[in-house]
């Protein structure tokens, strides 16, 4: 049992760390990059078994492509992908926000505000990775408050995939402040329990994400 647990922990560790590096567009894990399994084993200090299993899981989820005898291809980014993601968000996340405004507990809304209020410090530090993680936490918190688990899971996976685009759009200082103001306005609509305003603000937030990112692809 100990060996099984240890193996499972290593698989999860490998999966989480490789995905984190891909999301953060770290060196050697940038969109379209090719690297081999041996190099990943070296970087993560893990054996071939957990690395191989993690890579197959990531391939199923669309993060990588395994190229026989060549290595690993990190999924690329394209304008078409951006437009697809924005369309899915516009259909699903705006609806989700309407549910969440009505179903969120007061403590969940307070938690959303606490997440957003961490932004100014991260902006001052130009901590892009921290801001991307914060954005993901904010949207996951809103989705969870909808009380629709299927919708929340769909949006969580979508925001993880979309996070790589944030590393492009959030590199502009003016956009860092803009995203903070947009998040804050959405929280304020939640606090007023104004579903119509929250949905309109989310629609605007998605459109601004698409517009800012399109200019940098």
Residue 85: phi, psi to the nearest 5?
Answer: -65, -40
This prediction's pTM: 0.84
What is the chain's alpha carbon radius of gyration, rounded to the nearest angstrom?
A: 19
Q: How confident is the model at residue 123 (pLDDT cuts 50, 70, 90)?
A: very high
- Residues 54-76 have a mean pLDDT of 92
Distance, in Å, from the CA atom of 29 to the CA atom of 100, rounded to the nearest integer, reads: 35
Q: What are the distances in angstroms from CA 93 to CA 75, 86, 156?
A: 24, 10, 10
pLDDT digits (tens, 9 = 90+) for 159-186: 998 888 887 666 667 788 999 999 999 9
| pLDDT above 70 coverage of the chain, percent | 95
Distance, in Å, from the CA atom of 211 to the CA atom of 207, rounded to the nearest integer, reads: 6
Q: Find residue 71's DSSP bridge partners.
A: 67
Is residue 2 predicted with pLDDT exceeding 60? Answer: no
Question: Is 117 strand, coil or helix?
Answer: coil
Three-class SS of 82-100: HHHHHHHHHHHHHHHHHHH
pLDDT for position 8: 85
Q: How many CA atoms lie within 13 A of 33 on its CB side?
A: 14
pLDDT for position 4: 38
Domains of the chain listed by start with CATH number: 2-74 (1.10.10.10), 79-214 (1.20.120.530)
Is residue 3 predicted with pLDDT exceeding 60? Answer: no
């Amino acid at each position: 049992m100990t060996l099984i647990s240890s193996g499972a922990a290593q698989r999860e560790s490998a999966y989480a760390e490789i995905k984190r590096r891909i999301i953060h567009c770290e060196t050697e894990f940038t969109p379209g990059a090719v690297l081999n399994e041996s190099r990943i084993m070296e970087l993560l200090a893990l054996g071939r078994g957990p690395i191989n299993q993690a890579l197959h899981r990531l391939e199923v989820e669309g993060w990588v492509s395994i190229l026989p005898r060549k290595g690993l291809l990190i999924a690329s980014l394209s304008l078409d992908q951006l437009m697809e993601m924005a369309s899915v968000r516009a259909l699903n996340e705006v609806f989700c926000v309407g549910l969440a405004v009505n179903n969120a507990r007061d403590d969940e809304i307070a938690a959303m505000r606490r997440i957003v209020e961490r932004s100014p410090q991260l902006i001052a530090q130009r901590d892009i990775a921290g801001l991307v993680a914060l954005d993901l936490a904010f949207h996951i918190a809103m989705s969870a408050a909808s009380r629709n688990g299927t919708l929340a899971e769909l949006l969580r996976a979508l925001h993880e995939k979309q996070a790589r685009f944030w590393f492009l759009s959030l590199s502009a200082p003016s956009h860092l402040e803009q995203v903070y103001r947009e998040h804050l306005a959405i929280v304020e609509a939640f606090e007023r329990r104004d579903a119509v305003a929250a949905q309109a603000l989310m629609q605007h937030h998605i459109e601004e994400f698409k517009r800012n990112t399109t200019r940098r692809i």
